[in-house]
Amino acid sequence: MAIFVNEKTKVLVQGLTGGQGRFHGLRNRDYGTQIVAGVTPGKAGQDVEGIKIYDTVESAVAATGATASFIAVPPKAAPAAILEAARAGIGFVVCITEGVPAQDEARVFATLQRDFPKTRLLGPNCPGIISPGKCNIGITAGEIAALPTVTGPNVGIVSRSGTLTYQALFELKQRSIGVSTCVGIGGDPVPGTSFVDCLAEFQSDPETHAIIMIGEIGGTAEEEAAEFIMTHVTKPMSAYIAGVTAPAGKKMGHAGAIVSGGKGTAQGKMDALRSAGVKVGLNPTEACELMAQITASM
């Protein structure tokens, strides 16, 4: 099982001939991901280490039956690339591009919602997704992720931050706790996929037995997740929120990580999650220790 992607997922890479696309695309293939095509306008017929390049997503899908897209193109080109994938019928789009303007993100999200409701976008500005042992799309180093076990318990991870996601994967591996899927939803103001989307999937995934959520300051996504958890999530959870000490009004590296007008504070988010029954750690290690206690008692 796992969520969103698995061993059957066929992935094309938009921007495979660029530096980032090539580096991560080939790493993903080495991990075992089915990378079936690359897309770069004007470069049809070329190949990147045996992966055929097509001019358009549409032609790549027609030739290979790709179901997912990995977008690694510059910020200027990302909105059009996402919509091109959606138009070609791609169901799952992962966009790692950092620096996409918020107005573009809002327009892309609203367009997907209106015209392409079957396409799910992960990102932009996200590390991607890994279902260990099955499929890795994005920039996560596959070797730090523990494989899920047949008997479980396995943990699902959902996070707004890249490095903290790796930290969580690493800590779980050190404790020999299996991971079903790890989703980085990204740190931008309008992420295509939210905490709630991932929590709903994890809740109905038989391979996932518990969930770690890593949030950060800014916006209200964690508060919305807490509300959803109260009514829809029965699987045990631990969480960590980064940015307790962040000064108000400053963007902390991620475009979406800003406390404004007293809203979006780490404290408010931690309180909301606690009242939804989530065990909240004060640092990433503590959140993983809490998860180890949860899985040990299962």
Partner 1 sequence: MDLFEYQGKQYFARYDIAVSAGGVALTVDEAVTQAELAKYPVVIKAQVQVGGRGKAGGIKLANNVDEVRLHAKNILGMNIKGHIVKRVWVEHASDIAEEYYASFTLDRSAKRHLLMLSAQGGVDIEHVAVVDPTAIVKLHVNPVEGLTLDAAKRAVADARIAEKAQDGVAAMLVKLYECFTKGDCDLAEINPLILKPNGEVHALDAKVTLDDNAAFRHPEWDEYRLTEELDERESLAREKNLQYIGLDGSVGIIANGAGLAMSTLDVVNQVGGKAANFLDIGGGANAELMTAALEVINSDAKVKSIFINIFGGITRGDEVAKGIVEAMKRVKLRAPIVIRLDGTNATEGRAIIAAAGLAESQLISRPTMLEAARSAVEIAGKK
Range 13-51 burial, b when 16+ CB lie within 10 A, else e: bbbbbbebbbebbbbbbebebbbbbbbbeeeeeeebeeb
Region binding partner 1 by CB under 8 A among candidate stretches 47-55, 106-114, 226-234, 268-276: 106-114
Query: What minimum distance in Å lies between the beta carbon of 262 and partner 1?
Result: 8
Query: What minimum distance in Å lies between the beta carbon of 283 and partner 1?
Result: 5
Q: Which is nearer to partner 1, 69 or 140 (CB)?
A: 140
Region binding partner 1 by CB under 8 A among candidate stretches 42-50, 81-89, 149-157, 277-285: 277-285
What would the two tokens of residue 77 be?
């080109």
Residue choice 6, 10, 27, 175 for contact with partner 1 (CB under 8 A): 27
Does residue 217 bind partner 1 (CB under 8 A)? yes
Q: Is 254 a catalytic residue?
A: yes
Q: Which is nearer to partner 1, 60 or 108 (CB)?
A: 108
Total residues at the site for partner 1 (CB under 8 A)? 62
Residue with tokens 């494989």: 147
Taking each helix axis from N to C end, the angle separating 102-115 and 78-87, rounded to the nearest 10 degrees, works out to 10
Residue choice 106, 230, 248, 296 for contact with partner 1 (CB under 8 A): 106
Query: What minimum distance in Å lies between the beta carbon of 219 and partner 1?
Result: 4
Q: Which is nearer to partner 1, 66 or 81 (CB)?
A: 81
Does residue 179 bind partner 1 (CB under 8 A)? no
From the list 24, 209, 232, 254, the catalytic residue is 254
Does residue 257 bind partner 1 (CB under 8 A)? yes
Does residue 119 bind partner 1 (CB under 8 A)? no
Residue choice 252, 259, 278, 290 for contact with partner 1 (CB under 8 A): 252
Write the binding mask 143 to 172 for partner 1: x where contact by CB under 8 A, - elsewhere: xx--------------xxxxxxxxx--x--
Does residue 267 bind partner 1 (CB under 8 A)? no
Segment 185-214, which members bind partner 1 (CB under 8 A)? Answer: 187, 189-190, 214
The 3-state secondary structure of the chain, one letter per residue: CCCCCCCCCEEEEECCCCHHHHHHHHHHHHHCCEEEEEECCCCCCCEECCEEEECCHHHHHHHHCCCEEEECCCCCCHHHHHHHHHHCCCCEEEECCCCCCHHHHHHHHHHHHHHCCCCEEECCCCCEEEECCCEEEECCCHHHCCCCCCCCCEEEEEECCHHHHHHHHHHHHHCCCEEEEEEECCCCCCCCCCHHHHHHHHHHCCCCCEEEEEEECCCCHHHHHHHHHHHHCCCCEEEEEECCCCCCCCCCCCCCCCCECCECCHHHHHHHHHHCCCEEECCHHHHHHHHHHHHHCC
| Residue 235 and residue 209 in contact, taking contact as beta carbons nearer than 8 Å | yes
Does residue 276 bind partner 1 (CB under 8 A)? no
Does residue 256 bind partner 1 (CB under 8 A)? yes
- Residues forming contacts to partner 1 in the complex (CB under 8 A) are 24, 27, 75-76, 99-104, 106-107, 109-111, 114, 139-141, 143-144, 159-167, 170, 187, 189-190, 214, 216-217, 219-221, 224, 240, 242-247, 250-257, 261, 266, 282-285
What amino acid positions are annotated as catalytic residues? 254
